[in-house]
Amino acid sequence: MAKATTAVPAKEKSEQDGAKRSGTRWVYLFSELDAARAAVGGKWDDVRALLGGKGANLAEMTRIGLPVPPGFTITTRACNAYLEANQTFPEGMWEQVLKAVRDIEAQTGKQFGNPSNPLLFSVRSGAKFSMPGMMDTVLNLGMNDAVAEGMIALTGDPRFVYDAYRRFVQMFGSVVMSIEDEAFEDYLSATKKRRSVSSDTELSAEDWQKVTAEFKLIYRKHVGEEFPTDPYAQLSKAIEAVFKSWNGKRAVDYRNAANIPHNLGTAVNVQMMVFGNMGNDSGTGVAFTRNPSTGERKLFGDYLMNAQGEDVVAGIRTPKPISELEKENPAVYKQFIEVAQKLEQHYRDMQDVEFTIERGKLYMLQTRDGKRTARAAVRIAVEMAEEGLIKREEAVLRVSPDQVLQLLHPQFDPEAKRDAVRSGKRIATGVNASPGAAVGVVAFDADLAEKWGKAKKSVIMVRPETKPDDVHGMLASKGILTSRGGATSHAAVVARQFGVPCVCGAEALEIDLRARLMRVGDIVVHEGDTISIDGTTGEVFVGELKREVPDFMRETYLQTLLSWADQFRRLNVYANADYPQDARRAREYGARGIGLCRTEHMFFQEERLPIMQAAILAKPNSPEERAELDKLEVFQYDDFYGILKAMDGLPVIIRLLDPPLHEFLPDHEQLALRAAGLRLMGDRPKELERVEALMSAVEAMREFNPMIGLRGCRLGITRPAFSEMQARALFRAACQLTKEGYDVHPEIMIAVTSTAEEVRELRQLIERVAAEVMRAMNCAVNYKIGTMIELPRAAITAHKMAEYSEFFSFGTNDLTQTTFGISRDDAEGKFLLDYVERGLLPRNPFQQLDEEGVGFLIELAVERGRKTRPDLEIGICGEHGGDPASIAFCHRANLDYVSCSPFRVPVARLAAAQAALKEAGHSAKDD
């Protein structure tokens, strides 16, 4: 039975009886890591799933002898059981908690609820995957009036005691009982104003005693009952609050954004309190073993003396850089450096650690793999591999494809920044908390930021400091700006994880949330005004600054990482490119060929479009048609010459004309208006005749369903002169380059095929033209002819298609449309995104390949096509070629290559390598 004390009534339950009633182990001491391992079969990943990342790491730090305050973990299984049982503790859990409290009392010599030697607890969440600030924490639990008096007698420091007491009342009220934090903060601000002080540290013991009393009155007003004095009731309610916070809005929003499953649950860590607010020889801080913004191998972090942990991470006070601790307390700093290095070597990754100094003694409260920017992730992975701490395979797996994409996001043009500084548009500087350039309209609260973000506005969320409840607005914003807080504040940590540019602690900003504006001297920025922030340098500008694409070749760490990735991947990575400059950029980014060159884009250029229109209007197979196509051939030759030359030595897949011809003609309504005007004026009969001819042609070519109408191979067969012109231009360019010493590998792709006979027809045309050109130019060029598979029938009959095709390329955009029977442009605007939100579809199939339907057709076509032609080359060239999950599918489906936009080539190179490494059994932390 729980021991009773004179001050606090104990729970009249028997932990022994409870343990007998339930055979499930719900609670583990930090010192019982081996028991937890045995319960899940010994794998560390399973231990993290059971104890949460924080609990597992606290137990591991305890095991290796680091100074960790004792405590215990309530498992994630208990959380899930609680939520499934209509918010009721599972049988036996509370009794196990009571026993764990007794064990901690025995370890510390203190007693929970005993005023003469009180034991206080922190109660914190801890899921398998780190979710910083997204769930609930309560500190100083176990305080009541009697305990406060006992602590004063023990410490002789009433100021410290009532500072801790008021913090507990506020946290318990806001976290456990859902009282708005402003109810407490407003009174605290009024107290500081009345006492003419600006900092919490300037308030006296008497001030904190009055604040504590007032906080309890605020609690009674909002809750309707007195503040609880029974420490066990406090503990029970705090555990429930942490369990419930797993399904809180901010936690759910965060998991959605981070792709964390919703069924994991959170553990609860109950740990003996140590105090950083016991005077100037005490303090608290957060640090990273390497710089989380740049990746530099140097300790990085913040701390505050005479403070508790939330003061640092909440941004309420602007902290000091960790390097200054060496001056304030050299012995503690030296010990902390040794602990930080030991943790990084032990976990083989950059660590994010929390610590407290209590009267000169260091305690470690947490370690976890640190959140980092894209640039830092790449540098840390590469340097750790070069240091021998991890293998190259692990390095490649530790950087996500999304981080590579973030690294290539636009930055501010240097000249534009210099002009802005000279003209006085730089209004503030702060901590460069998360790199990148962001431009957007100012929103002063998270709800508005989310509303505007969903309306496709670019938003910069501006707050004095952010709180976990702001996460939905942060995720919807292009950038985050705060006037308080440092590089380890909540805003900074969340921004870095999701690649959102962030500037924190821009103290020059006077933010007036009620008036919905901010001031810097005479400059006033209203809500809805545009600002620019540079998270790399910490600068804030009024107005919009010009941005530019970063220089990929200068990203030396990324170049190294991708060179390793290229050694591990099986899939080739090609690029979709229509012009020579695109091809050159693709090659620079590491593309090993062009997987799709869309020739129709070339005809929309201003000097070519009138010629194309004249060719369309000409009678098929007439001298007029041939004359116009001869003009176009000159341009096509130059196009093909440039792109084949840029890809010297690599394959280039050129798709013959694909869209319906009416797309090259003006809109019928615009032509009608033009004709009406000409008739009214009556002075330009030839122009009127031309416009009317265009109207007739547009009307004749109008289709009800142009996406599945006269396009692709159907157009090539009905208007063969267009296909002949393109083939002739291509082979002339290829022959000329061959004569000049270039190594060209043209591959011609036939689009929108549904029968093998269509492929055969156009193959014969292409082979005839190729033979004519090569004979005329006395030159031989190796080439391939292949089929674009974008219709279900083509996939189903792939064994026949392969008879006339040396390669297949899946046009997954159209294949998705024709498999689902929907038009992407219509569906995304009308119902598709709603389907995803309602769970009718797991995701947008145009962004991530639908493996169940479209994927089935791809696998079927691969199997059937290679039965006919074992050496058949197969790839995809739709947008899915740059999506990491779709690339993993392509690897599993045994495709030869993926093709994507040039800017996504680095992403695809990494994703392809990761797919191969995972298949081989590697992980980001190989044992």
The residues annotated with a catalytic role in the active site are: 490, 877
Residue 721 CB neighbour total at 10 angstroms: 17
Strand partners, 138: 123
Q: What is the arrangement of strands in the sheet containing 121-127, beginning at the earlier edge strand?
A: 27-29, 71-74, 266-272, 121-127, 137-141
Q: What backbone torsions phi and psi does residue 226 show, to the nearest 5 degrees?
A: -70, 155
- What the block records as the tokens of 550 is 């970063």
Length of the chain: 927
Tell me the CA distances in angstroms from 471 to 256, 402, 403, 478, 878, one per residue in order.
11, 20, 20, 13, 33
Q: Which amino acid is at 812?
A: T
Q: Is the dihedral angle over the CA atoms 36, 41, 47, 50 positive or is it negative?
A: negative
Sequence-distant (≥ 6) Cβ neighbours of residue 73 within 8 angstroms: 27, 28, 30, 51, 52, 55, 58, 59, 126, 267, 268, 269, 270
Residue 656 DSSP code? -
Residue 172 DSSP code? I
Strand partners, 899: 574
Sequence-distant (≥ 6) Cβ neighbours of residue 696 within 8 angstroms: none
Tell me the CA distances in angstroms from 154 to 118, 148, 167, one per residue in order.
10, 10, 20
Q: Which residue has the tokens 């395979």?
A: 393
Tell me the CA distances in angstroms from 340 to 35, 116, 351, 367, one per residue in order.
27, 36, 8, 9
Are 450 and 473 in contact by the 8 Å Cβ rule? The answer is yes
Three-state secondary-structure class, residue 316 = coil
Are 504 and 537 in contact by the 8 Å Cβ rule? The answer is no
Sequence-distant (≥ 6) Cβ neighbours of residue 36 within 8 angstroms: 28, 47, 50, 51, 56, 59
Q: Closest by alpha carbon to 378, among 883, 887, 886, 906?
A: 906
Strand partners, 532: 439, 541
Are 876 and 857 in contact by the 8 Å Cβ rule? The answer is no
Q: What backbone torsions phi and psi does residue 790 show, to the nearest 5 degrees?
A: -135, 10
Are 395 and 381 in contact by the 8 Å Cβ rule? The answer is yes
Are 911 and 887 in contact by the 8 Å Cβ rule? The answer is yes
CA dist 280 and 913 (Å) reads 52
Sequence-distant (≥ 6) Cβ neighbours of residue 156 within 8 angstroms: none
**DSSP H or E run through 309:** helix 309-313
Are 496 and 504 in contact by the 8 Å Cβ rule? The answer is no
Q: What backbone torsions phi and psi does residue 841 show, to the nearest 5 degrees?
A: -130, 140
